[in-house]
Structure formats: structure tokens, C-alpha cells
A = this chain, B = another copy of it.
Amino acid sequence: MDQDKVVVKKITRIRRDVKEEVEEIDDQVAVEAPVTIYLNGSELVTLLCTPEKIDRLALGFLRSEGMLTSIEELDTIRVQEKEGFVEVDLKNKTHLAEKLYGKRTLTSGCGKGTVFFNVLDSLRSKPLEGKLEIKSDSILVLMKSLQEKAKVFKNTGGVHSAALADQEQIIYFYEDIGRHNAIDKIIGDCLLDGTVIDDKLIISSGRLSSEILLKAAKLKIQILVSRAAPTSLCIELAEKLNITLVGFVRGRRLNVYSHAWRIKRD
């Protein structure tokens, strides 16, 4: 197991099953570390994350937040792994997005800030046009594959997993202490590899809230799949934006919350 994902801690395990039993044992814990992103020389944001592939995290975050559209816009990227710094310089140093971002207020509760309504308004009028379809059996297979890959979760219980997949298999996979980070790392991979995103699915272990839906919508992801539950606002946005939302994919069952026509049932 990689050192940047899992660390061993001495813990006290107390069992009260039959008789009391107290053990001092070594236990595996998910690593959490701060990573600060600098954009064009200015400190932009500090993310709390699993400190793996932090260059991908930075690029994916910038793409998600609309500050970087294509890898052509990138001038240089420097990573200081140990210190947790990623310095990104864009070719256009006077990028508007950077200034805009400074004015945002984002919440600590997994919730986006005042910018939320603007995003909502701008997306409302643009439902996705894609006609991507997938068999329900393929979704079950992809979720099984996601769970088999989730080794950090099995060892620590402290991370979420996310994947980008086509109808057949998982292409990129990450585990991270933050649901958003795992998806941003995938987006970073796509940018660097030149992988087309809008004909793929996102598969996640985490709950589906409005933020995750809007992140997917910005990438023109047509099918969003999770093992967990969606919120009401996530479903409402998915309906409006023509995104297929699939939740509670467990064993041989799944729930489709919006635009079920994309799920083939043969």
C-alpha cells in the first residue's frame, strides 16, 4: 500500500462482546494532507486531500472551476510533493477566472457558495444533448469493478472512490478522502492524456449532491452513477439538464432517478 495513501497508527481497540478486551494494535488510516494550488504566482486555494497525483488534482480542480479549458492553455506546472504545493502557470497571465475566483465564497460544508445560483442559472438553459446509452447489466459490472479496486477503502474505511468509465470498463480510478478530489484527479488525467470526457460515465462511491451534479454537467457527463443516495436538488438538476442519475447500485439492483431512457434493459 502506498505511503501517500495509507499510514499505520497505534490505536486502542476496545471490545465489549463477551468480556472486556483492550488491545493496543497497529491500524491502517487514510492519509489526509493539505495541498496548496498557486495560479500564475498567486495562492489560489488549499485542498485537503489524499496526497497522491497532486498535479492531476490541481489541473482537474482548475478545469472544474472553469479556469482552464484545455491543456494548450497550460504554460508550466511545478509540483513540490513533500511541501504540498502545486504551482500552475497559464500562458495567459491575465486570466479572468483567477480574478473571479477571489470573489467567491465557498462553504466548509461541502457546499458551494454564493456563486451557486449563477451556476444554476447558466446551466438551466443548456440541457445536455448527448444520446449515450448503457445496459443496466454493464452498470452493475462497473460498480463491482469500482468496489474491487477500492483497496484503500477496504484497509481504512476513510476514503471515497470515483472512476471514469466507458460502457465496458473503468479507464481512470482514484480513491481520495474527498469525493470532489477523486473526480478532479480523473479530470486532470483526461486533460493530460487528451481523453474525451463527454462520452464517458462517472461512477462514484459517494452520495450525489447538487455540487457533484454540476461538476459532471460542466464536463457534459451524461450518466452519473453511485452506490449511494442522491439529494432532491441533485435529482431536480439532473432532470433539467438531461443527465441520467443512477443511485443505490448494490448487488443486482439499481435506482434510476432521471432520464431512464439512457438505461437499456435487454
A residues near B, CB below 8 A? 7, 9, 11-17, 20, 22, 27, 29-34, 36, 43-49, 64-65, 101-102, 104-114, 116-117, 136-137, 140, 156-158, 177-181, 184, 207, 209-211, 228-235, 248, 251-257, 260, 263, 265
Contact = CB atoms under 8 A, between A and B. Distances in A.
A34 B235 contact: no
A181 B231 CA distance: 15
Contacts of A113: 45-46, 106
Contacts of A111: 34, 46-49, 178, 181
Q: For the complex, would chain A's binding face be called helix, strand, loop or mixed by DSSP majority?
A: mixed
Given A110-B110, A179-B110, A231-B177, A255 B48 contact: no
A180 B29 contact: no
A176 to B, nearest CB: 8
Contacts of A17: 251-253
B109 A11 contact: no
A15 B136 CA distance: 9
Q: Which 9 A-B pairs have the closest CB atoms?
A: A48-B111, A32-B231, A109-B180, A158-B229, A109-B178, A157-B229, A32-B233, A12-B256, A12-B260
8 contacts: A17-B252, A29-B232, A46-B117, A47-B111, A104-B105, A108-B211, A109-B184, A110-B179
Nearest to A184: B109
Given A32-B210, A114-B43, A9 B229 contact: no
